[in-house]
């Protein structure tokens, strides 16, 4: 009889291992719920048999049961676990990476995307609104400014700073509150059927050049996303007075202001604009489609082009902190960054700098604007640009 019971126990498959509030472990099998002496308690596997974790023999049996549970779950890593990520990285780029994380870990990812017009600003506003009851675990941003702003507001949690190994010091927080991930640049996209090479714009100042009709050149509204980051960087490097005057002239001249960088790209591709200011990822998409366009990095003989790097951070009070750390570690792997570069999401690796690419074979001269300086310039920049473009 005893032999029969032992055989029956070996044939049982552990389905559930749980610990209640008093520290007692419960086991459930596919053939009903039994204790370790094989006394049947229920045919319902959701009603679990108790195991006393204090006595030596049951503790040994508990370890064996846990091992059986692990074997039963083979191929179902991290089953039932999830992580919520708010991301301004375009879905076409971010979704394959997140699916790869799911395959590797078994942790389900619940992404929340934002519209092109609001982009990072909209997601940051949502995180502020949810401060008391956070819903997001990870904030994966396609730029850095709003991420630094969230840290300043106490809305981010620290991760292990060692995750920043290999990333330049200015591109991650030394306390682990945020980490840089891939980089893009602010560039001109030029319609080559409408503008000859000798007439390509070479500087941001060409947005004010009278030889280009104002209604045939454009840029995104500098209140959101990378356009906002770029504007704040100009405030930081050139000073408020000069930068405000620059944007006031853009407004008064009638330069076409669009709701996002991809809209600028589409207007250039269709020929409605001669050229426009956009990001390298949007420009690259037009190039790969075979559109009649050229990409020009502005101010390569002077201050340089604005380079914007992406960031990833854990939200303070994240509902799933362990899963959040796993996702952050996955995103910061060199292999992930390279995958994002191959897909066209980013054009440079932070680990390698602004070196040669297909778009810029000789590399890129970048504007010298530190993230902290850009953050300090943001309040004035945001207020003045809102007065200029919204009033």
The 10s digit of each residue's pLDDT in 325-362 is 999 999 999 999 999 999 999 999 998 888 888 788 88
Write down the pTM of the prediction. Answer: 0.76
pLDDT for position 352: 86
E-state strands within 202-242 = 217-220
Calpha distance 194→230 (Å, rounded)? 27
Boundary of a domain, candidates 50, 72, 94: 72
Contact 257, 220 (CB under 8 A): yes
4-8, 325-329, 361-365: which range is least confident on average?
4-8
pLDDT for position 79: 52
Nearest to 222 by CA among 259, 188, 186, 249: 259
Calpha distance 193→270 (Å, rounded)? 11
pLDDT in tens, 253-275: 999 999 999 999 999 999 999 99
Q: Which residues, including other chains, have CB under 8 Å from residue 257's CB and lie 6 or more apart?
A: 218, 219, 220, 221, 251, 389
Query: Which burial class, exposed, middle or buried, applies to 46 when counting CB atoms under 10 A from its CB (0-12, 13-18, 19+)?
Result: exposed
Same domain for 201 and 293, yes or no, is yes
Structure tokens given for 118:
């609001």
pLDDT for position 65: 44
Compute, in degrees rounded to 10, the torsion defined by CA atoms 180, 183, 184, 185.
90
Kindly state the average pLDDT of the residues 178-199.
97
Q: Is residue 146 part of a domain?
A: yes
Calpha distance 363→349 (Å, rounded)? 12
Domain harbouring 313, CATH code = 3.40.190.10
Same domain for 162 and 217, yes or no, is no
pLDDT for position 115: 63
Statement: residue 193 has pLDDT above 70: yes
Same domain for 257 and 384, yes or no, is yes
Q: Is residue 372 part of a domain?
A: no
What's the chain's average pLDDT? 84
Q: Is residue 367 part of a domain?
A: no
Helix (H, G, I), strand (E, B) or coil at 86: strand
Contact 339, 172 (CB under 8 A): no
Same domain for 58 and 125, yes or no, is no
Statement: residue 62 has pLDDT above 50: no
Same domain for 215 and 144, yes or no, is no
Statement: residue 52 has pLDDT above 80: no
Statement: residue 53 has pLDDT above 50: no
Kindly state the average pLDDT of the residues 198-215.
97
Radius of gyration of the chain measured on its C-alpha atoms: 27
Structure tokens given for 362:
């000789």
Helix (H, G, I), strand (E, B) or coil at 314: strand
pLDDT for position 354: 86
Q: At what angle do helices 225-238 and 119-129 cross, to 10 degrees?
A: 100
Any idea what DSSP says for residue 379? Answer: H
Structural domains of the chain, count = 3
Q: Which residues, including other chains, have CB under 8 Å from residue 323's CB and lie 6 or more apart?
A: 78, 81, 82, 83, 107, 137
Q: Is residue 375 part of a domain?
A: no
pLDDT for position 120: 65
pLDDT winner (highest mean) among 34-38, 48-52, 106-110: 106-110
Edge-first strand order for the sheet with 14-19 is 14-19, 25-29, 49-51
Same domain for 152 and 98, yes or no, is yes
Statement: residue 19 has pLDDT above 70: no
Statement: residue 245 has pLDDT above 80: yes
Nearest to 173 by CA among 359, 350, 312: 312
Q: Is residue 365 part of a domain?
A: no
pLDDT for position 116: 54
Structure tokens given for 321:
């902190």
Same domain for 34 and 174, yes or no, is no
Half-sphere exposure of 111 (CA within 13 A, CB side): 20
Same domain for 254 and 384, yes or no, is yes
37-51, 63-77, 91-105, 328-342: which range is least confident on average?
37-51
Same domain for 188 and 173, yes or no, is no
Boundary of a domain, candidates 43, 72, 101: 72
Structure tokens given for 102:
């799911």
Statement: residue 20 has pLDDT above 60: no
Range(s) of the domain holding residue 44: 2-72
Q: Is residue 373 part of a domain?
A: no
Bridge-based pairing state of the strands 82-87 and 138-141: parallel
Kindly state the average pLDDT of the residues 160-182.
93
Calpha distance 257→335 (Å, rounded)? 37
Same domain for 204 and 109, yes or no, is no
Nearest to 120 by CA among 153, 89, 81: 89
Q: Is residue 374 part of a domain?
A: no
Kindly state the average pLDDT of the residues 45-74.
41
Calpha distance 6→141 (Å, rounded)? 56
pLDDT for position 224: 87
Contact 135, 111 (CB under 8 A): no
Same domain for 132 and 157, yes or no, is yes
Statement: residue 389 has pLDDT above 50: yes
Q: Is residue 176 part of a domain?
A: yes
Same domain for 285 and 314, yes or no, is no
Boundary of a domain, candidates 21, 42, 72: 72
């Amino acid at each position: 009889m005893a032999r029969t019971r032992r055989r029956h126990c070996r044939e049982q498959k552990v389905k559930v291992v749980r610990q209640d509030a008093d520290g007692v472990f419960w086991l459930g099998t596919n053939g009903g719920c039994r204790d370790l002496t094989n006394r049947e308690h229920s045919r319902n596997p959701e009603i679990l048999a108790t195991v006393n974790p204090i006595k030596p023999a049951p503790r040994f049996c508990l370890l064996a049961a846990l091992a059986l549970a692990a074997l039963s779950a083979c191929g179902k890593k991290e089953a039932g676990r999830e992580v919520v990520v708010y991301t301004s990285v375009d879905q076409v780029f971010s979704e394959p990476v997140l699916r790869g994380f799911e395959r590797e870990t078994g942790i389900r990812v619940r992404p929340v995307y934002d519209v092109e017009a609001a982009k990072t600003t909209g997601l940051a506003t949502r995180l502020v609104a949810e401060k008391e009851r956070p819903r997001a675990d990870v904030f994966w941003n396609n730029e850095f400014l709003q991420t630094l702003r969230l840290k300043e507001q106490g809305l981010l949690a620290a991760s292990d700073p060692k995750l920043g190994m290999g990333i330049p010091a200015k591109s991650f927080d030394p306390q682990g509150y945020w980490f840089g991930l891939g980089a893009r640049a602010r560039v001109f996209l030029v319609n080559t059927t409408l503008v000859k090479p000798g007439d390509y714009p070479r500087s941001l100042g060409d947005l004010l050049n009278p030889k280009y009709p104002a209604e045939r050149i454009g840029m995104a509204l500098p209140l959101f996303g990378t356009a906002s980051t770029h504007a704040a960087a100009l405030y930081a490097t050139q000073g408020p007075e000069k930068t405000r005057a620059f944007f006031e002239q853009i407004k008064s001249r009638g330069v076409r202001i669009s709701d996002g960088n991809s809209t600028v790209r589409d207007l250039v591709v269709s020929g409605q604009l001669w050229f426009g200011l956009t990001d390298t990822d949007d420009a690259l998409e037009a190039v790969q489609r075979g559109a009649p366009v050229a990409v020009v990095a502005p101010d390569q003989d002077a201050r340089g082009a604005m380079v914007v790097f992406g960031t990833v951070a854990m939200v303070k009070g994240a509902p799933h902190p362990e899963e959040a750390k796993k996702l952050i570690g996955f995103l910061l792997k060199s292999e992930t960054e390279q995958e994002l570069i191959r897909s066209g999401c980013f054009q440079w690796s932070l680990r390698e700098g602004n070196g040669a690419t297909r778009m810029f074979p000789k590399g890129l001269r970048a504007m010298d604007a530190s993230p902290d300086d850009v953050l300090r310039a943001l309040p004035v920049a945001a207020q003045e640009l809102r007065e200029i473009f919204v009033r």
